[in-house]
Chains A and B, each alone.
Chain A
Amino acid sequence: MASHSVIDELKRTQILELLEQGKRVDGRALDESRDVSIEINAIPKANGSARIRLGDTEVVCGVKIQPDRPFPDTGDKGLFICTAELLPLSHPTVETGPPQPPVIELARVTDRGIRESHMIDVTQLVIEKDKSVIGVFADNVVVDYDGNLFDACSYAATAALLSSKTPKWNWTDDAPVLAEGEETQLPINTIPVSVTMAKIGNHIIVDPNGDEWASMDARVTITTDSDGNICALQKGGNDGFTLDEIVKCGETSIKVGAKIREKLKAASQGVQ
């Protein structure tokens, strides 16, 4: 997996030296994320899709919406499942085969951020209680890797869901039957935005690129909803964060997240 590639010691030293002066290798401010470009409906045949470029990291997300059996304990709620995978062409160290632990973590963090924000009102996705519900599946594919897949996948899935149109099914003769031509927007409550921060030495930087990702000591991914509430958090790496640092990260994630939320909103509204 790409995060296991070894960074050369000279570059790591350079990154650290620049951070001591308050600078970053690509000239960004410490709390500045890379440019996000959002292309909605990148896959015309999907129910919803988006292609995200976060600097040189590129992710394509496709949304499939279809009737499904509900889980036995939540017969009054629809399904939402988000996955992520890396294509071998995304980075020299990525190989085909079953996903490695970092990729499983990527899928789980992306899923959790959207799920726990209650972005999709799953109670409206019921066709027949306990028998059939609407399932929403958002699948992320990483096409190009340059660090911070957490945020790129999160933005791609969110943008794809915002632009998704769900067909309508009627419950007839104990089976869901597609009602032709009745497409609606997904019931959206809020727009979750994840912001990943890396700790290198004693410095905390937003949206680490590939080199920064390879040289970081710890990371934290915080997802906030439209009201500025924190709804999910994932910490990784061997080093720790102090209480003050975590509080500061929380504030940064709200501040940076608000800007990106506007971009996601603008991109999806441009299409509707």
Chain B
Amino acid sequence: MADKRKYVIPGDVVTTGPFRPEQNVILDGNKIISTTVGISEIYDDSVKVIPLTGMYIPKIDDLVIAKVISHTSLSWELDINSCYVGFLPAQDVFGRDFSAHADELTSKLKTGDLVAARIANFDRTRDPLITIADRDLGKIDSGVLVEISPSKVPRLIGKRGSMIQMIEEATEAAVTIGQNGWVVVFCESSEGLLKAKKAIQMVNEQAHVANLTDQVKEMLDKKGES
């Protein structure tokens, strides 16, 4: 398990020795150096830095919430809260017999629509290829979009989904978390919706705090009583 957590800035030597450099660190000689502002974590044989800030860099198979910003006759352009623009080909939605003449793209997705999507392919030389052809993916018809920092997404999910399960159970809300920091909250009751939004914002703002789970639980319980 991780120990020796400490705050690092780019250039800081996290540790020295026979470790495998993972995310946001580079190996220089036998020194492992951070490349970002974050919290370093040293495992048995590997070292990584969890960034405190930063934007979303797509990874293959990530679930993201995307917003349609425009379309051509063959594809949609999606805002995935990244420096890259998501590319959703029309075949993905219409099927292989898609015809640019017969099918109108706006009949399926218009500008401003939100979709739950998956990164199908990405290699930094081209814009990320998006797919919505899967179970649980596709257009989102109801709910509220909450934006958090992409670097806080793991904290919002928690260990094996503990944090988000707790929020969902306490508020009876359904929460879809995109790895890109966009979260859609759906709840029948407006009170539950507000509570869930508040809890998510709390995680976003206090992700670095040690016993965050307890604090969020306390907030959720307290508001329930009043």
User: Within the complex, what minimum Cβ distance (angstroms) separates A91 from chain B?
Assistant: 14
Main secondary structure of the interface of B (DSSP, over half): strand
Cα A11 to Cα B114 with chains together (Å): 10
Task: Indicate if the CB atoms of A14 and B144 lie closer than 8 Å.
Answer: yes
User: Within the complex, what minimum Cβ distance (angstroms) separates B178 from chain A?
Assistant: 13
Task: Indicate if the CB atoms of A6 and B144 lie closer than 8 Å.
Answer: no
How many inter-chain contacts with C-beta < 8 Å in the A-B complex? 27
Q: Does B39 contact A (CB under 8 A)?
A: no
CB < 8 Å neighbour of A11 from B68, B111, B145 = B145
Q: Does B197 contact A (CB under 8 A)?
A: no
Q: Which B residues touch A12, using CB under 8 A?
A: 112
Cα A8 to Cα B109 with chains together (Å): 12
User: Within the complex, what minimum Cβ distance (angstroms) separates B225 from chain A?
Assistant: 24
Q: Which B residues touch A11, using CB under 8 A?
A: 144-145
Task: Indicate if the CB atoms of A10 and B111 lie closer than 8 Å.
Answer: no
Q: Which A residues touch B79, using CB under 8 A?
A: 6
Task: Indicate if the CB atoms of A9 and B110 lie closer than 8 Å.
Answer: yes
Q: Does B138 contact A (CB under 8 A)?
A: no
When each residue 106-143 of chain B gets 1 if its CB lies under 8 Å from chain A and 0 otherwise, what string results?
00001111100000000000000000000000001011
Task: Indicate if the CB atoms of B69 and A6 lie closer than 8 Å.
Answer: yes
CB < 8 Å neighbour of B140 from A7, A10, A14 = A10
Within 8 A of B (CB), among A225-258: none
Q: Which B residues touch A6, using CB under 8 A?
A: 67-69, 79, 111-112
Task: Indicate if the CB atoms of A10 and B69 lie closer than 8 Å.
Answer: no
Cα A236 to Cα B179 with chains together (Å): 38
User: Within the complex, what minimum Cβ distance (angstroms) separates A209 from chain B?
Assistant: 16
Task: Indicate if the CB atoms of B144 and A7 lie closer than 8 Å.
Answer: no
Q: Which B residues touch A8, using CB under 8 A?
A: 67, 112-114, 145
Task: Indicate if the CB atoms of B144 and A10 lie closer than 8 Å.
Answer: yes
Q: Which B residues touch A10, using CB under 8 A?
A: 114, 140, 142-145, 184
When each residue 1-17 of chain A gets 1 if its CB lies under 8 Å from chain B and 0 otherwise, what string results?
00000111111101000
User: Within the complex, what minimum Cβ distance (angstroms) separates A20 from chain B?
Assistant: 15
User: Within the complex, what minimum Cβ distance (angstroms) separates B65 from chain A?
Assistant: 9
Q: For this complex, into which size category does the number of interface residues on chain B fall?
A: 10 to 19
Q: Which B residues touch A14, using CB under 8 A?
A: 144
Chain B residue with the shortest CB-CB distance to A214: B112
Cα A10 to Cα B184 with chains together (Å): 10
Task: Indicate if the CB atoms of B113 and A9 lie closer than 8 Å.
Answer: yes
Within 8 A of A (CB), among B44-82: 67-69, 79
Which of B67, B112, B184 counts the most chain A CB atoms within 10 A? B112
User: Within the complex, what minimum Cβ distance (angstroms) separates A11 from chain B?
Assistant: 7
Cα A10 to Cα B140 with chains together (Å): 9
Chain B residue with the shortest CB-CB distance to A215: B112
Q: Which A residues touch B110, using CB under 8 A?
A: 9
When each residue 181-194 of chain B gets 1 if its CB lies under 8 Å from chain A and 0 otherwise, what string results?
00010000000000
Cα A11 to Cα B144 with chains together (Å): 7
Cα A14 to Cα B79 with chains together (Å): 20
User: Within the complex, what minimum Cβ distance (angstroms) separates A257 from chain B?
Assistant: 33
Chain A residue with the shortest CB-CB distance to B79: A6
Q: Which A residues touch B69, using CB under 8 A?
A: 6
Chain B residue with the shortest CB-CB distance to A6: B69
Cα A6 to Cα B144 with chains together (Å): 16
Chain A residue with the shortest CB-CB distance to B70: A6
Task: Indicate if the CB atoms of B114 and A9 lie closer than 8 Å.
Answer: yes
Chain B residue with the shortest CB-CB distance to A11: B145
Cα A8 to Cα B144 with chains together (Å): 10
Cα A7 to Cα B79 with chains together (Å): 11
User: Within the complex, what minimum Cβ distance (angstroms) separates A6 from chain B?
Assistant: 5
Chain A residue with the shortest CB-CB distance to B69: A6
Closest 5 pairs between A and B when the two form their complex, measured CB to CB = A9-B112, A6-B69, A8-B114, A9-B113, A8-B67
Given contacts A6-B68, A11-B144, 9 further A-B contacts (CB under 8 A): A6-B69, A6-B79, A6-B111, A8-B67, A8-B145, A9-B110, A10-B145, A10-B184, A11-B145
List, sorted by A's number, 26 A–B pairs whose CB atoms are closer than 8 Å.
A6-B67, A6-B68, A6-B69, A6-B79, A6-B111, A6-B112, A7-B112, A8-B67, A8-B112, A8-B114, A8-B145, A9-B110, A9-B112, A9-B113, A9-B114, A10-B114, A10-B140, A10-B142, A10-B143, A10-B144, A10-B145, A10-B184, A11-B144, A11-B145, A12-B112, A14-B144
